[in-house]
Amino acid sequence: MDTDTDTRNTFDKERDKEIWQEGHDTPRAPGEVIDGKSTLPVGTLDPVYEAKAHVLNRAIQDIGMGWYQWQLFVVVGFGWASDNMWPIVTSLILPPVALEFKVARPPLLTLAQNIGLLAGALFWGFGCDLFGRKWGFNLTLGITAVFGMISASSPTFAAVGVFAALWSFGVGGNLPVDSAVFLEFLPADKQWLLSVLSVDWALAQVLAAGVAWPLIGKMTCSKDEPCTRKANMGWRYFVIAMGGIALLMFACRFFFFTIYESPKYLMGKGRDEEAVRVVQEVARRNGTTSSLTIDDLRACEPEGYEAQTDARAALKRKLESVNGDRVRQLFRTPKLAWSTSLLIMIWAFIGLAYPLYNAFLPYIQENNKRLSADMANQGNTTYTTYRNMLIIASLGVPGAVIGGLLTETRAGRRGVLGLATALVGIFLFASTTASKVNTLLAWNCMYNLFSSVMYAVLYAYTPELFPTASRGTGNALTASANRIFGIMAPIIGMYADLSTPVPVYVSGALFILAACLVFLLPYESRGTAAL
């Protein structure tokens, strides 16, 4: 380990000691090890539970990154892919669905999806601490696959909306559950792999657009003639295909990969023996051994002490992690309060701006009179729309990679994030000037490239600006703001004229406003230890 890393680790531990001392009468012993990467405040957990968690962390670290974790890395990527793929599905089917059912307010479909995403995130994120990670890990993809394919039989627009909400209920749980599973089996020095999973997020967009192009592009009604179900089967075949892909992902997880229950979850339920067996089995799968024994965990229990590690205690710990004290800690000083408030607003504005444009992009393109005329000259307008969606989506992959690389440049996280976010807004404004399809395509390609850069940096920068002891609560606040404002996007879309550039102007203005807020952030985390 190099000198800079040693210095950072020492700084993290010293800062954790300060946080402990601020909230407790009795400080920790000087030589006691504190987990600097813990997402929960030190002392939040039952002392025995906390001590056992440190023992399990060390055991996983000793095992190292092996075959089991690399397999897990692949199947967890399915969750990341699903998280982006299905919102794109809703966006892609919106024009043909609205045409077939003669819908007065098409954005209602996006609203149903976003409500399902929020409900899924709350249910699965909270529930995985109660009934375990293993069930949620498999069921989220299974639910998505089943309701995605069933939606192809929808006889009405309302039915499509219900099924979109149901498949989104499964999608909403992917990141909360999958990230918990992955992190709890991941050695501390390999936690950076979590950011690499963003490539799956970008690839999923390419996959969805690639499947939609030949299906929806060639088997969709023309706006100039009556639209019947038989003439508009493209979107139905598309959701069957995407549901089949989700089913294949589910099968890979359920039948071809053995997911073990999280050792920390088992320990939290008082099943220490099973936790030890899982650690030993992971070591065996990795071709190594672990020295962890049940005695190591029992040594954490003082004589006569009954450890509070049942389900009720786990629920209590979950509630304690979001109580007022944890939130107030993020606003403890004026500078920290300013930083936290700005981050919440940045996530909120992006949460509204991104779906406001992306969710209605195919619809906006097909209903723009100037673009429709140019596409008509090229032949099949719907085919051209979905071909262009595939080209635009492909720019997300290099964008995710570039964003990850730029985080360590001299511009720093703040500079790269602010510039990328501003460019996203600028390219959206520029797109409103396009009167030719190919011109709009060029602007949208640049938009998607820099929006991928923006997200790659944002996911890395945000947790670094929260103190270690309150990082989980801070992430929860920003994510909640993002989801809640995302629900507002289709509501605005219902009252906006999607045949005009108004939604694009609003989205672009929000991105530029978010960029201005980024430059106001008081901290630059490049080259410094996360507190």
Q: At what angle do helices 381-394 and 198-218 cross, to 10 degrees?
A: 170
Which segment, 48-57, 159-168, 272-281, 303-312, is predicted with the most confidence on average?
159-168
Q: How far apart are CA 301 and CA 489, in angstroms?
A: 51
Q: How far apart are CA 242 and CA 389, in angstroms?
A: 16
Tokens (6 digits) for 390: 């595939």
Q: Could you tell me which residue, 242 or 117, shows the higher pLDDT?
A: 242
In the predicted model, what is the mean pLDDT of residues 45-58?
74
Tokens (6 digits) for 175: 């990141």
In the predicted model, what is the mean pLDDT of residues 370-380?
59
pLDDT of residue 157: 94
Q: Report all structural domains of the chain as residue ranges with CATH numbers, in order of start.
A: 34-320 (1.20.1250.20), 322-531 (1.20.1250.20)
pLDDT > 90? residue 421:
yes
pLDDT of residue 123: 81
Which segment, 109-113, 421-425, 463-467, 502-506, is predicted with the most confidence on average?
421-425
For 239-282, write each residue's pLDDT tens digit.
999 999 999 999 998 888 888 887 877 887 778 888 889 888 88
How would you write 221-278 as a 3-class SS string?
Answer: CCCCCCCCCHHHCHHHHHHHHHHHHHHHHHHHHHHCCCCCCCHHHHHHCCCHHHHHHH
- Identify the burial level of 84 via C-beta atoms within 10 angstroms of its C-beta, where 0-12 means exposed, 13-18 middle and 19 or more buried: buried
Q: Which one, of 450, 23, 93, lies nearest residue 241 by Cα? A: 93
For 158-176, write each residue's pLDDT tens digit.
999 999 999 999 988 887 7
